[in-house]
Amino acid sequence: MGVAGTVDFPDHMKTAHQELLDDVATDALTPSLFSLIEAAYDSSGNPYYQKSPYDPAPRVADFMGVMDEFETLVEDFDATTAWEDFVTAIVTKVDAEIFDDTYIDADIASYTALLDDNIVNTVLPRFDAGMRDVNAVMTSAYAVGRAIIEGMKVRDVNKYAADLRNKFHIQRNDSIIRTGIELSKQEVQKYDIWRSMLHYTVEANRIAIVAEKEQNDGTTALAVGEAKWPFELFMYAANLLASIGGGTYIPPTNIADAPSSGQTALGGAMAGASIGAAVGGGTGAALGALLGFGASFL
């Protein structure tokens, strides 16, 4: 320290200070602080120039469009009309390819041929033999007997055909009803699939909105940090200039390295607990932690 009215420092401190500053006058600092400020003032150096907050409108429009499609689909759905359309299509398909009269006629013809074979080879030979035994072949009883046998065959064929058509009719109607119910279930499942697609579309866009906003904010933060970096270097130089006198300045923390709100709260609670413990023991630590945690959000 010098005489009254002057401030001086030991020679070794002044020598070290000069070495740190310009290496015995061999280094020069360019650009100047004013030139950096001027460049930052210009729009090309301003990281906020023409920046705007993240706009989620395109993403919102995307899932709103899907919601509108789903709403239209639900509003246009008419259960009665859908059921009638299903039944009409099923009846046409079933009658053309499953319960066609061709199959019924073929089955009846096969049964008729079976009866004819039995009558020709079994029934009539026995009838004729019996009539010959009683010498009644040339009587009217023989003709009536033959007619009765033929009538019984026709009756059996008609009964078989009626039963067959009745069974086919029941099966046809049951098939139409069951198929219609199944198609109706599938139609409802289609709406469930649409609803699931709507849910995942909204969820995917929600995640995208958060991610894109974070990217937008991060890009801006990095641009701001890049613009501020030359000024922070001047702060370090100013600290070096002031170091011999003991006055220094800590530059602001870069936003990319800033602690999260959770980390800040934890740090405040620990600091408060430490101070509280020194003053009031365990109770003071608890109170200090609570106050420190709350103050970290202020």
Cα 141 to Cα 145, 154, 190, 265: the distances in Å are 6, 20, 72, 119
Q: Which of 73, 157, 88, 59 is nearest to 116 (CA)?
A: 157
Q: What is the pTM of this model?
A: 0.45
Task: Report the alpha-carbon distance of residue 226 to residue 129 in Å, rounded.
Answer: 122
Task: Report the alpha-carbon distance of residue 245 to residue 174 in Å, rounded.
Answer: 102
Model pLDDT, residue 159: 92
Q: Model confidence over 20-54: pLDDT tens digits?
A: 666 666 666 677 767 777 777 766 777 777 777 88
266 pLDDT tier (thresholds 50, 70, 90): very low
Q: Model confidence over 61-77: pLDDT tens digits?
A: 887 888 888 888 877 77
**Mean pLDDT along residues 272-295:** 50
Model pLDDT, residue 140: 84
Task: Report the alpha-carbon distance of residue 11 to residue 133 in Å, rounded.
Answer: 162
**Mean pLDDT along residues 285-294:** 47
Model pLDDT, residue 278: 55
Model pLDDT, residue 77: 77
**Which of 129-138, 240-249, 279-288 has the lowest average pLDDT?**
279-288
Model pLDDT, residue 117: 87
Looking at every residue in the chain, the average pLDDT score rounds to 75
Helices 140-243 & 101-118, crossing angle to 10 degrees? 150
Model pLDDT, residue 271: 53
Model pLDDT, residue 289: 46
Task: Report the alpha-carbon distance of residue 141 to residue 150 in Å, rounded.
Answer: 14
Helices 140-243 & 11-22, crossing angle to 10 degrees? 140
**Mean pLDDT along residues 166-190:** 86
**Mean pLDDT along residues 174-203:** 84
- Locate 84 and state its tokens: 């009638």
Task: Report the alpha-carbon distance of residue 60 to residue 204 in Å, rounded.
Answer: 11
Alpha helices in the chain (DSSP H): 11-22, 33-41, 57-76, 79-97, 101-118, 124-133, 140-243, 261-295
The residue ranking higher by pLDDT, 238 or 117, is: 117
**Mean pLDDT along residues 126-134:** 82
Residue 269 has pLDDT above 50, yes or no: no
Q: Model confidence over 84-126: pLDDT tens digits?
A: 888 888 888 888 877 778 888 888 899 899 988 888 888 888 8
